[in-house]
Structures are given as structure tokens and as C-alpha cells.
Amino acid sequence: MKKIFSLTGAVAFNSFMESVRNRFFTLFAVFAFAAIYASVLAGVMAVDQEARVLTDFGLALMELVALAYALFSASSVLLREAETKTIYLVFSRPVPRSAYLAGKLAGSLMTSALMLAVMGLMHLLLLKFRGFGVPPGYAWALSGSLLKLAVITSFAFFVSLFSTSAVSTLVISGVFWTAGHFVTETRFLAESSGGAVAAALKAAIWIIPNLQLFNARDAAGASCALGPAAFFSAAAWVAGSYLAAVWLISGKEF
Amino acid sequence: MTRLALPAAALLAWSAGAVVSYGYYHSPFPPPSEIRTPAAGAAGDMFALAFGARRLFADVWFIRLMQYYGTPELQEGETESSEEAHERINSAGRYPDFLARARHVLEIDPGFVMAALYGTGSLAFNMGRPAEAQELLEYALKYSPREWKYLNVLAAIGYSKAEDPAAVAGAITPILKDPDCPVMLKQQAAFLNKKIGNYAAAAAIYADIASTSRDMAYVRNAERELQKFSKVLPAGQRRD
């Protein structure tokens, strides 16, 4: 068991360092900083609500930038490792496929966490520069974004094992992300319609993860704290995707 | 058997997440049937829901509301009388879409207290449409029933209908120190205090506007008023 953890840690660290060295990672950081700075314009337009606009714009942008990188990374990493034959080298050693996949997923999540932390720091510095303090519930908003990223990244890993290209994985995961924010509306529609439509909508509610559960940045004040249910659901959905991915990867010939 | 164990475990884990989420999560937002886009911007509303960015798009709608309210209503070829010019400076125009636009901000983000106070104050005290202001407040209260600031403004609207400026100023006063208080409401409170002869209180509010607001129009007006008060008030009560 200890050996499995050690192997998983090694793969995770390697995957994390590979992401950090990736040129795309630097570009995203530069882009995020430039775009957050551009939000100053929107802040000026809001006059006395500048702090709120800067906060909302920055948090939304950070999440989207981290999402773009996480999806790009998750959809291409396994395909790239198969193309470069790296995966054959790994599996020629006594590395269980479950540990390899767990390591890749953990590396990707560590990268997302680092991205959010770096962008969050830039954002807070920008707010401080404009004369504002740390917005209430800021850490919860970032935690919620990380939980969302964990759910969607693990799902993208699962999809990448049966989709034909990185693009199709990106599209499927992107649609899933969008649908995940519509679960509340889907629930309302299911309750207000009947017959086959209601049944289909109810099925969708069970299949699609409710990402609004983690959307602390859209809540206000004390209500933005994430409850234990949010952490449990995120862990369950990540575990579900991971186990399904392990099932798929264990049937593949490498 | 082992081959089936993994997908079964995956399904079980996924279902556990769904069950907990279904039982725990109750949306604090209005249902989609209540969202009525008052102007071009339905695509923005879609993005607000699709990306879970309600607050951000509520901000955009609020900026649009302020731009709408800050735009003179004259059509091409129309001329402005001196009375209309006076009304324009006090933003007391017709603005027929104001209620719909202000309500839409709350439809997207019902927790946007400042927008509700701004919309209500503008309708009730600047445009003289207390019924619409009350309608907006009732909608805001539906999603934030414990918001004391709404109740105070509701009382202020009642007093304004009874033409009791002292009571209106009294009802607004507790809100003035709150970070959600729009500068427009502060201006209103200062004006009412001045009207009833409570110059010290008016000067204190103008001083607060001058030192905290980022809206230069209000800041300049507050500075002008403070200059006038400096000639009227005894030295101990001056705020400049």
C-alpha cells in the first residue's frame, strides 16, 4: 500500500512539474494578469461598486482560465503519453494503472490549485492597488472553483480514454461543465413538466453533477461557506470518474 | 466479476454524489420562469447561468441600469425646457423601463442589496413612483426576507407618501453607514435633513459622501454643499 502511494506521488509530482514547465502554463498566467488588469475599466464604470465588479470579474476569469488549462491538459495528457510512447515505459515497470491514473489526476489538480493560488494572489494585489481589502468569502470562492475543477478534470480523464481526439474530449467536458451549472434550472423544468420530458430531465439531474453546489462565488455573505455536502459530493464524483477511468484503462492494450 | 466491480463502484460513487447534492442543495436564486430580460441581453443571461457567473452578469446589468438612468431622454430634434433640464440634473425623468431593468438585476442576483436600494430609492424619491419602488422592494424581500435595510426603505416610502420628510430621513439614517448604501440614498438623506433644517446632520452626510464616494458628480455636489454650510453652521458643527 505504501509503495502504491509512493508511486502515485512520484507520477503526480512528475506530472505537476511537467505542467509547470509547459509554456502554455506561463502564457495563461500572463493572460490572466492582463485580463484581470483590464477589469479595472469595468470597475471604473461601476463607480461605487468597483470593488464588487473587480472581485466578480476576477473570480470568474480565474475559474475560466484554470478550467481552460485543466481541460486542455486532461484531454491531451494520456493521448500525448501514448503517442510519445512514455506510457509504455511507465507500464513496463511495476506501476499499477490505477496508481498511474491517480498520479496524473493528482498532478493535474495540483496544477489547477497552483494556478488558482497564483491568479488569486495577482487578483488580491490588484484589489489592494485599487484601495480594497480581501472580499468576504474569497477563500471559499477559490475552494469552490477548485472543487469544480476537480470534478470536471476527473471527468475529462475518463472521457479522454474513450473519445477519438483531444478536441472531442474538450467539447464533451465543456458541455458537461455548462450543463452542470444548469442543474437547478433543469430541476425546476422537471418539476414543472410531465411525462417523458420530466423523466428525461430527472435522469439528467442524476447524471450531471450539480456544479452550483460549489459555486460559492455567486453566493453572498455567510451563505458562501461550502458545507460538508459539497466536499462529499465532489469526492464522490471524482471517485466515480476515476474508477470508471481505471476500468477503461485496465482494458486497454499498451 | 472483478471486471464488473469497477464500473459498479464508479456508478455507486457517482450516485452517492448525486443523492447528497440533490438533498442538500436548495437554489437561492429565482426560477428561470421569473427571468424576464428587459432589453437586448438574453445571451448575457444565458452565459450568467451557463458559467455560474450570476454576480458578474448582475454587475453588468447594474452598470447598464446606471447608464440608462444617466442618459438624457431627449429624442433627436426635441428641445429641453429649463424645467426639464432641472429634472434631468436630479434624474427625475420618465425612464419607463427603469423598474423592469432594476428588477432584472435582482432576478439574476437576488443578493445584490445595493442594486435593490439604488433602484428603490431612485423610483421612490427621484422619479416619484413609490408604487413601482414598493413592487421592486417586495420582489427583493421575497428572496432576502431578513434584510432590515429593505424594511427601512419600505417605511421611508410610506413616510414620503405621507409627505413627512423628517420621518423619511429618520428611516433612511440607519442605512447610511452600511457599505451597501448607495450614494444616491445618502444624497437624498442629506437633502431631506437640509430641507427640515437639520443642517448639522446634513453636513455630516455630505462630508461622508465627499470622503467615501468615487462618483465625482456626487462628490463635487457634496463639496459645494459643505462650502455653503461652512458659512451657516457654527465652527463646532462644521464638517469641512
Residues within 8 A of A (CB atoms), B 164-203 only: 182-183
CB B110 within 8 A of CB B29: yes
Say which residues have a Cβ less than 8 Å from residue A248's Cβ, sequence separation at least 6: A158, A161, A162
Closest partner residue to A215 (CB to CB) among B20, B23, B52 is: B52
Between chain A and chain B, the number of residue pairs with CB atoms below 8 A apart is 143
Question: How far apart are alpha carbons A16 and A9 in whole angstroms?
Answer: 10
Residue B54, chain A, CB below 8 Å: the answer is yes
Closest partner residue to B214 (CB to CB) among A47, A237, A240 is: A47
**Cα–Cα–Cα angle for A124, B215, B117, rounded to 5 degrees:** 85
Closest partner residue to A206 (CB to CB) among B6, B18, B33 is: B18
Closest partner residue to A247 (CB to CB) among B6, B52, B109 is: B6
Question: How far apart are alpha carbons B70 and B99 in whole angstroms?
Answer: 15
pLDDT of residue A229: 92
Q: How far apart are the first and last CA of chain A?
A: 24
Per-residue pLDDT reduced to its tens digit, B148-201: 999 999 999 988 888 888 888 888 888 988 888 888 888 888 888 888 888 888
Task: Enumerate the residues of chain B whose CB falls inside 8 A of the CB of residue A227.
Answer: 24
Please give the distance of CA A171 from its chain centroid, rounded to a whole number. 15
CB A236 within 8 A of CB A149: no
Type of residue at B206: Y
Report which of residues B215 and B100 the model is more confident about.
B100
Per-residue pLDDT reduced to its tens digit, A53-97: 888 888 988 898 899 889 988 988 888 888 888 888 888 888 889
Closest chain A residue to B28 measured between Cα atoms? A219
- CB contact under 8 Å between A188 and B21, yes or no, is no
Mean pLDDT of B209-226: 86
Q: Is the pLDDT of residue B89 over 50?
A: no
Per-residue pLDDT reduced to its tens digit, B98-144: 999 999 999 999 999 999 999 999 999 888 899 999 999 999 999 98
Lowest mean pLDDT: which of A39-43, A133-137, B10-14, B31-35? A39-43
| Domain ranges within chain A, ordered by starting residue | 2-250
Phi, psi of B110 (to 5 degrees): -65, -10
Task: Enumerate the residues of chain B whose CB falls inside 8 A of the CB of residue A42.
Answer: 59, 63
pLDDT of residue B92: 57
Closest partner residue to A243 (CB to CB) among B9, B54, B213 is: B9
CB B24 within 8 A of CB A229: yes
Phi, psi of A83 (to 5 degrees): -65, -40
Closest chain A residue to B114 measured between Cα atoms? A49
Residues within 8 A of A (CB atoms), B 86-105 only: none
Strand ranges (E), A81-240:
none
Question: How far apart are alpha carbons A72 and A167 in whole angstroms?
Answer: 9
Three-class DSSP category at B220: helix
Question: How far apart are alpha carbons A115 and B232 in whole angstroms?
Answer: 58
Closest CA to A136 of A223, A241, A209: A223
Type of residue at A171: V
Residue with cell 420618465: B94
Q: Is the pLDDT of residue B82 over 50?
A: no
Residue with cell 496508481: A99
Q: What percent of chain B has pLDDT over 90?
A: 31
- CB contact under 8 Å between A240 and B17, yes or no, is yes
Residue with cell 428603490: B120
**What does each of the 254 residues of chain A score in pLDDT, given as a tens digit?**
778 888 888 888 888 888 878 766 676 677 677 777 777 777 677 778 888 888 888 898 889 889 988 998 898 888 888 888 888 888 888 888 989 999 999 999 999 999 899 889 988 988 898 888 898 889 999 999 999 999 999 999 999 999 888 999 999 999 999 999 988 888 888 888 888 999 999 899 889 999 999 998 887 655 677 889 999 999 999 999 999 999 998 888 76
Closest chain B residue to A207 measured between Cα atoms? B18
Question: How far apart are alpha carbons A155 and A81 in whole angstroms?
Answer: 18
Q: What is the ipTM of this complex?
A: 0.86
Report which of residues B109 and B214 the model is more confident about.
B109
Helices B148-161 and B165-172: crossing angle in degrees, nearest 10, is: 170
Longest dimension (CA), chain A: 62
How many CB atoms are closer than 10 A to CB B86? Answer: 11
Residue B22, chain A, CB below 8 Å: the answer is yes
CB A232 within 8 A of CB B20: yes
Q: Is the pLDDT of residue B85 over 50?
A: no
pLDDT of residue A223: 60
Closest CA to B194 of B219, B225, B230: B225
pLDDT of residue B139: 95
Residue B180, all three cell numbers: 451597501
- CB contact under 8 Å between A244 and B49, yes or no, is no
Region of A183 on the Ramachandran plot (φ > 0 left; ψ -120 to 50 alpha; else beta): alpha
User: Within 13 Å of residue A245, how many CA atoms lie on the same side as its CB?
Assistant: 28
pLDDT of residue B196: 86
Question: How far apart are alpha carbons A230 and A212 in whole angstroms?
Answer: 10
